[in-house]
């Protein structure tokens, strides 16, 4: 009896653990990702973006280092040597041929007082390069977000085609079942059954292709998110029928005026241009004389080897030999093998190239915004026409289906009407999703942020 109770308890806890495991597994597999989930995960975990953040950290280290160059250096050193043959006795300052041991200690410091303001200009240049690095990090982030949005809507489109293909297959199978029953009762010829079976087979093939395309689109999105191998992934399909298409025309000039001061595409190059000007000034600083101030404190120990005569102790010598020195040095550049002139010229070339790159990027940004606005404004007309065409073909197909069931039209006409309806539905879905992604892209140009636009 006691053994049975123990066995029942064991089975109870095993059952509980199995239920918890199955529930946890089902919950993990049951999660469906929204567009916001995908973007948030990518922004946090994308390897390319993480590497770009490391580049920003490098720029930050360089900026900090240039500031530290203004401080004096401080170094502690020590040396020890054994001398043979002729040498100078530092105690008596006489010549000796005895072996001796020397040990010295020194603390040195040096600071550059003036170098043509090269250090200050280098600090400013590195500060601007750090800001440019931060903007470049935003560029990589924005590019990733736009790519994720595009692929997310590609999955929605592929899923829409898959669902439409499934509906076409269901209609064919329904008619196939009806025709078979009518053939069995002698109301329809066997040839009509073969025709509808052929159409159902064609629709099944189309559905299989659409299903595979949807699976591939989802896999591509999963790969862009860089999820772990073997992890379950699916997206949450929003209710697209409730999405309203606003009748609003975007103006290229107004969007560009906002994007020019909002997006990091231009800010990055503007900071690089400011940095290049400071780099020219820093290079010119090498033409000016440099002035440095240095100081040193030192002491040492000396003893003759193989000599039994008395010598001062180590502590006494360290105290008695203690000394200080101060030095001022000036360096006037006269000729340095064209090195300084080369650095100045290269800095000017980089500045000119940055100016041209800024103008080119302004043109590219304006072109991108102009095309986005034109495509959106044109896409509204395409969507309206496609939506009206879908409504018309839906009514037309319903009429043809009733005639087909009444025997007034053949399988060929029915199949043609069904195919036309499928194309109209696919085109309506394509134009709607295309219009939504274009709208999001324009709004992203205007704000540079995605949090407040993806749910609108």
Per-residue pLDDT tens over the stretch 401-413: 888 888 888 888 8
- Range with lowest mean pLDDT among 76-85, 235-244, 340-349: 235-244
Do 168 and 201 contact (CB within 8 A), yes or no?
A: no
String of DSSP letters for 100-159: EEEEEEEEEEEEEEESTTHHHHHHHHHHHHHHHHHHHHHHHHHHHHHHHHHHHHHHHHHH
Do 112 and 73 contact (CB within 8 A), yes or no?
A: no
Average pLDDT, rounded, for the chain: 86
For the beta sheet containing 100-114, the strands, ordered from the edge strand earlier in sequence to the opposite edge, are 73-83, 100-114, 290-304, 323-331
Q: Quick one: pLDDT band at residue 306, thresholds 50, 70, 90?
A: confident
Distance CA 139, CA 104 (A): 56
Quote the tokens at residue 299: 């002491």
Between residues 447 and 82, the one the model is more confident about: 82
Do 366 and 267 contact (CB within 8 A), yes or no?
A: no
Q: Token match 């000796």: residue?
A: 96
- Let me know if residue 25 belongs to a domain: no
- The predicted structure's pLDDT at residue 394: 92
Q: ∠ at Cα 9 (7, 15), nearest 5°?
A: 100
- The predicted structure's pLDDT at residue 31: 79
- The pairing of strands 95-96 and 87-88 is antiparallel
In angstroms, the first-to-last Cα distance of the chain is: 66
Do 254 and 354 contact (CB within 8 A), yes or no?
A: no
Per-residue pLDDT at 5 exceeds 70: no
- Let me know if residue 395 belongs to a domain: yes
- The predicted structure's pLDDT at residue 12: 38
pLDDT exceeding 70 applies to what percent of the chain? Answer: 89
Do 209 and 181 contact (CB within 8 A), yes or no?
A: no
Region 111-136: mean pLDDT is: 94
- Let me know if residue 213 belongs to a domain: yes
Q: Quick one: pLDDT band at residue 11, thresholds 50, 70, 90?
A: very low
Q: Which domain holds residue 337?
A: 32-71+115-288+333-447
- The predicted structure's pLDDT at residue 29: 47
Do 162 and 207 contact (CB within 8 A), yes or no?
A: yes
- The predicted structure's pLDDT at residue 27: 40
CATH number at residue 193: 1.20.1600.10
In the three-class reduction of DSSP (H, G, I as helix; E, B as strand; rest coil), residue 80 is classed as strand
Q: Quick one: pLDDT band at residue 454, thresholds 50, 70, 90?
A: low
Rg, the chain, Cα only: 40
- Let me know if residue 327 belongs to a domain: no
Domain count, the chain: 1
Distance CA 299, CA 324 (A): 9
- The predicted structure's pLDDT at residue 183: 86
- Let me know if residue 24 belongs to a domain: no
- The pairing of strands 95-96 and 100-114 is unpaired
- The predicted structure's pLDDT at residue 13: 39
- The predicted structure's pLDDT at residue 331: 93
Q: Which of 416, 424, 419 is nearest to 391 (CA)?
A: 424
Per-residue pLDDT at 57 exceeds 90: yes
* pLDDT tens-digit series, residues 12-56: 333 433 333 333 443 434 578 998 899 999 999 999 999 999 999
Region 121-148: mean pLDDT is: 94
- The predicted structure's pLDDT at residue 110: 95
Do 92 and 304 contact (CB within 8 A), yes or no?
A: no
Top-confidence range, 59-68, 226-235, 429-438:
59-68
- Let me know if residue 322 belongs to a domain: no
Report how far apart, in Å, the C-alpha atoms of 225 and of each of 35, 41, 194, 404, 455 are: 12, 7, 47, 48, 20
- The predicted structure's pLDDT at residue 453: 60
- The predicted structure's pLDDT at residue 242: 61
| SS3 annotation, 174-215 | HHHHHHHHHHHCCCCCHHHHHHHHHHHHHHHHHHHHHHHHHH
Distance CA 86, CA 93 (A): 13
* pLDDT tens-digit series, residues 371-393: 999 999 888 889 989 999 999 99
- The predicted structure's pLDDT at residue 262: 87
- Let me know if residue 121 belongs to a domain: yes
Distance CA 376, CA 441 (A): 10
Global pTM reads: 0.81
Distance CA 351, CA 452 (A): 37
- Let me know if residue 92 belongs to a domain: no
* CA dihedral of 446, 451, 455, 456, whole degrees rounded to 10: -30
Q: Token match 């920003």: residue?
A: 56
- The predicted structure's pLDDT at residue 3: 40
Distance CA 93, CA 223 (A): 79
Residue 287 per-residue DSSP state: G
Region 287-308: mean pLDDT is: 89
* pLDDT tens-digit series, residues 418-427: 889 999 999 9
Residues 6+ apart with CB under 8 A from 242: none
Residues 6+ apart with CB under 8 A from 167: none
Distance CA 24, CA 16 (A): 12
Count of other CB atoms within 10 angstroms of residue 135: 20
CA 19, 21, 25, 30 torsion: positive or negative? positive
- The predicted structure's pLDDT at residue 250: 84
């Amino acid at each position: 009896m006691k053994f049975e109770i123990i066995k029942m308890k064991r089975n109870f806890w095993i059952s509980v653990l199995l239920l918890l495991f199955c529930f946890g597994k089902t919950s993990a597999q049951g999660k469906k990702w929204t567009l916001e989930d995908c973007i948030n995960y990518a922004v946090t975990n994308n390897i390319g973006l993480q590497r770009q953040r490391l580049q920003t950290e490098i720029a930050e280290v360089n900026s900090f280092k240039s500031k530290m160059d203004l401080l004096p250096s401080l170094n502690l050193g020590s040396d020890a040597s054994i001398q043979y043959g002729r040498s100078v006795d530092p105690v008596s300052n006489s010549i000796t041929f005895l072996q001796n041991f020397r040990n010295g200690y020194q603390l040195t410091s040096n600071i550059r007082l003036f170098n043509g303001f090269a250090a200050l200009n280098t600090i400013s240049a590195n500060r601007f390069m750090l800001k440019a690095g931060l903007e470049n990090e935003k560029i990589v982030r924005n590019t990733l977000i736009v790519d994720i949005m595009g692929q997310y809507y590609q999955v929605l489109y592929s899923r829409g085609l898959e669902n439409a293909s499934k509906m076409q297959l269901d209609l064919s199978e329904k008619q196939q079942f009806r025709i078979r029953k009518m053939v069995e009762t002698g109301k329809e010829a066997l040839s009509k059954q073969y025709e509808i079976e052929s159409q159902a087979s064609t629709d099944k093939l189309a559905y299989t292709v659409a299903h595979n395309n949807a699976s591939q689109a989802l896999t591509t999105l999963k790969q862009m998110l860089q999820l772990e191998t073997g992890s379950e992934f699916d997206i949450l399909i929003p209710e697209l029928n409730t999405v309203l298409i606003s009748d609003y025309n975007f103006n290229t000039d107004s969007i560009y005026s906002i994007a020019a001061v909002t997006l990091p595409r231009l800010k990055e190059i503007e900071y690089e241009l400011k940095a290049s000007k400071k780099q020219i000034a820093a290079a010119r600083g090498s033409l000016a004389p440099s002035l440095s101030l240095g100081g040193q404190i030192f002491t040492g120990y000396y003893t003759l080897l193989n000599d039994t005569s008395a010598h001062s102790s180590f502590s006494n010598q360290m105290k008695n030999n203690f000394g200080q020195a101060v030095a001022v040095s000036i360096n006037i550049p006269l000729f340095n093998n064209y090195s300084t002139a080369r650095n100045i010229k290269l800095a000017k070339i980089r500045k000119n190239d940055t100016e041209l790159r800024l103008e080119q990027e302004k043109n590219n940004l304006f072109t991108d915004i102009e095309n986005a606005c034109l495509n959106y404004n044109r896409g509204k007309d395409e969507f309206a026409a496609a939506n009206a065409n879908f409504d018309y073909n839906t009514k037309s197909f319903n009429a043809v289906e009733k005639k087909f069931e009444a025997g007034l039209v053949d399988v060929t006409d029915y199949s043609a009407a069904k195919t036309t309806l499928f194309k109209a539905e696919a085109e309506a879905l394509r134009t709607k999703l295309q219009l939504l992604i274009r709208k999001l892209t324009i709004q992203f140009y205007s704000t540079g942020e995605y949090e407040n636009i993806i749910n609108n």
